[in-house]
């Protein structure tokens, strides 16, 4: 064999072995970003790939042979579940994009992502044209049916363009309801709603690995109106519809998916929807799969929700008097603290001074010490004669810690005269702000 050819092979083989693709991103404004983390998504979670520091707004990830094709999540700030976006990586191409807080991600390189964003932009444009036509005083049937034809043509073109590509899963799932002939606005909206999930396959593992199923489901729950239902009942009915779609999926995925939905409801402060989903579906599912941590988390949140009765406990061992039996005020400020907690020793005197200024029949402070022994606690509570003082031994192992989901001290709650949760302050400052508004 020719020696030059052998030398050429020896040079090329290492370069083939170490060849890899790159994910490059430019974020603006650059001062708002510090670290980026890349994960590969799966139907039931995500796997860490790499992290990189922003340098003048630029982020670079080397995608080696371990970075296989699939759906990836780029996290750019904390909390991670809020500041992230998905992208497609086909295992063959570099990915390059720009990102701004106002406009989101724009892809410069990556045929998969560029094709998806082009499709979505054109689809959105036609949707807006259709909305304009339906809002006109004089309906132009031909103009509306022409838009339907353009939507149908668009779908065919992009499904053909995306053959053998991961992006086809998303193009098919985003296919809108397209009538074959003119429909009045009322019929169109009715049929659009009834066909909402027609092209969305909840068993598709590519879609399961992305945010699409969750985003589509949340949009359906919040936007679809069912006649004759009050707002919350309408949400609950729509939640039932979405959960029914997940019945065909793997139980592990169903649990993860519904848990993500629950977290979204909580972050949107849709507490009634969160508790409805948990009580009817997610807690039974967690129990079936023996996921004790998830079941505990959901039950604690439900039990501690505004309007629910505070978990009862004994205030005084000698008299066996319980929290629920208190009848000395219209409202109660319940605080869990510890004599070994430096923050508590700073805040409890402030709370005591505040209680001096409050109307004692309107507010009464119930201070519960989480302690290892009586000695330090008994010395400290002498400073707080205005409080109803109680002690719980075994500190973090006491039952009230679990019942109230306590993770730190001091922790505050405001209860009404029936000992139902009225407000959950994030701290003493938040409590003061609340009381000033009362």
The DSSP secondary structure of 140-174, one letter per residue, reads -HHHHHHHHHHHHHHHHHHHHHTTTSTTHHHHHHT
Average pLDDT over residues 309-321: 93
CATH 2.60.40.180 occupies which residues in the chain? 19-109
pLDDT category of residue 222 using cuts at 50, 70 and 90: very high
What pLDDT shows up at residue 179?
98
Residue 202 burial (10 A CB sphere; 0-12, 13-18, 19+): buried
Least confident segment among 12-16, 113-117, 178-182, 203-207: 12-16
Average pLDDT over residues 151-161: 98
pTM of the model: 0.88
What pLDDT shows up at residue 417?
96
Neighbours of 321 (CB within 10 A): 14
Which helix (H) or strand (E) is 61 found in, with range? strand 58-63
Question: CA dihedral defined by 172, 173, 174, 176, rounded to 10 degrees?
Answer: 80
Neighbours of 435 (CB within 10 A): 18
What pLDDT shows up at residue 437?
86
**Residue 325: pLDDT above 90?**
yes
What pLDDT shows up at residue 10?
44
Give the tens place of pLDDT for each residue, 125-134.
999 999 999 9
User: CA-CA distance, 200 to 169, in Å (whole number)?
Assistant: 9
pLDDT category of residue 109 using cuts at 50, 70 and 90: very high
Q: How far apart are the first and last CA of the chain?
A: 91
Question: CA dihedral defined by 186, 191, 196, 200, rounded to 10 degrees?
Answer: -150
Give the tens place of pLDDT for each residue, 253-274.
999 999 999 999 999 999 999 9
Tokens of 173: 């799932």
Which CATH code for domain 314-437? Answer: 3.40.30.10
CATH 3.40.30.10 occupies which residues in the chain? 314-437
**Residue 1: pLDDT above 60?**
no
Give the tens place of pLDDT for each residue, 28-55.
999 999 999 999 999 999 999 999 999 9
User: CA-CA distance, 352 to 380, in Å (whole number)?
Assistant: 12
Neighbours of 183 (CB within 10 A): 19
Average pLDDT over residues 225-238: 93
- Which residues, 6+ apart, have CB-to-CB distance to 189 below 8 Å? none
Q: What is the DSSP string of 270-310?
A: -HHHHHHHIIIIIHHHHHHTT-HHHHHHHHHHHHTSTTSBP
**Residue 61: pLDDT above 60?**
yes
Question: Could you give the strand order of the β-sheet that contains 84-89, starting from the edge strand earlier in sequence?
Answer: 45-53, 35-42, 70-75, 84-89
Phi, psi of 216 (to 5 degrees): -65, -40
Tokens of 276: 């409805």
DSSP state of 201: -
* Angle, in degrees to the nearest 10, between helices 342-357 and 428-437: 10
What pLDDT shows up at residue 42?
98
Do 367 and 384 meet the contact criterion of CB atoms below 8 Å apart? Answer: yes
- Which residues, 6+ apart, have CB-to-CB distance to 308 below 8 Å? 302, 420, 421
**Mean pLDDT of all residues in the chain?**
94
User: CA-CA distance, 321 to 360, in Å (whole number)?
Assistant: 20
Q: When comparing pLDDT for 14 and 408, which is higher?
A: 408
DSSP strand E in 351-426: where? Answer: 363-371, 388-393, 411-416, 421-423
Which CATH fold topology does 19-109 show?
Immunoglobulin-like (2.60.40)
pLDDT category of residue 317 using cuts at 50, 70 and 90: confident
What pLDDT shows up at residue 107?
98
Tokens of 333: 């400020």
Give the tens place of pLDDT for each residue, 278-305.
999 999 999 999 999 999 999 999 999 9
Give the tens place of pLDDT for each residue, 73-97.
999 999 999 999 999 999 999 999 9
**Residue 16: pLDDT above 60?**
no
What pLDDT shows up at residue 360?
83
pLDDT category of residue 65 using cuts at 50, 70 and 90: confident
Average pLDDT over residues 386-404: 96
pLDDT category of residue 318 using cuts at 50, 70 and 90: confident
What pLDDT shows up at residue 8?
45
User: CA-CA distance, 61 to 213, in Å (whole number)?
Assistant: 27
């Amino acid at each position: 064999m020719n020696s030059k050819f052998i030398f050429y092979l020896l040079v090329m083989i290492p370069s083939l072995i170490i060849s890899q693709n790159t994910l490059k991103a430019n974020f603006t404004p650059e001062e708002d970003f510090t670290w980026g983390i890349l994960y590969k998504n799966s139907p039931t979670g995500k796997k860490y790939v790499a992290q990189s520091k922003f340098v003048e707004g630029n982020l670079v990830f080397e995608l080696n042979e371990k970075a296989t094709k699939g759906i990836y999540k780029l996290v750019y700030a904390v909390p991670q579940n809020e500041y992230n976006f998905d992208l497609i990586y086909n295992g063959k191409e570099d990915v390059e994009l720009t990102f701004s807080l106002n406009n989101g991600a724009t892809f410069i390189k990556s045929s998969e992502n560029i094709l998806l964003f082009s499709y979505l932009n054109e689809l959105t444009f036609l949707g807006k044209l259709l909305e304009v036509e339906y809002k006109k005083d004089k309906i132009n049937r031909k103009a509306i049916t022409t838009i339907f034809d353009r939507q149908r043509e668009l779908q065919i073109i992009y499904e053909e363009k995306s053959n053998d590509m991961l992006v086809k899963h998303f193009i098919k799932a985003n296919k809108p309801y397209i009538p074959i002939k003119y429909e009045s606005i009322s019929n169109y909206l009715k049929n659009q709603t009834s066909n909402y999930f027609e092209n969305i396959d909840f068993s598709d593992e590519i879609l399961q690995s992305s945010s699409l199923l969750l985003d589509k489901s949340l949009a359906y729950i919040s936007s679809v109106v069912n006649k004759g239902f009050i707002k919350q009942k309408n949400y609950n009915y729509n939640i039932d519809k979405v959960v029914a779609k997940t019945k065909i999926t793997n139980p592990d995925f169903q649990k993860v998916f519904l848990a993500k939905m629950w977290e979204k409801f909580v972050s949107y402060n849709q507490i009634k929807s969160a508790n409805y989903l948990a009580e009817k579906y997610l807690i039974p599912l967690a129990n079936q799969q023996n996921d004790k941590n998830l079941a505990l988390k959901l039950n604690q949140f439900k039990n501690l929700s505004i309007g629910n009765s505070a978990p009862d406990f004994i205030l005084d061992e000698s008299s066996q008097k319980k929290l629920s039996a208190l009848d000395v005020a219209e409202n109660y400020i319940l605080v869990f603290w510890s004599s070994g907690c430096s923050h508590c020793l700073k805040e409890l005197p402030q709370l005591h001074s505040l209680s001096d200024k409050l109307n004692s029949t309107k507010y009464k402070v119930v201070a519960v010490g989480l302690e290892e022994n009586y000695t330090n606690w008994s010395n400290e509570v002498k400073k707080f004669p205005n409080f109803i003082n109680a002690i719980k031994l075994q500190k973090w192992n006491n039952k009230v810690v679990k019942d109230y989901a306590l993770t730190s001290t001091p922790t505050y709650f405001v209860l009404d005269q029936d000992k139902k949760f009225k407000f959950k302050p994030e701290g003493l400052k938040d409590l003061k702000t609340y009381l000033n508004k009362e």
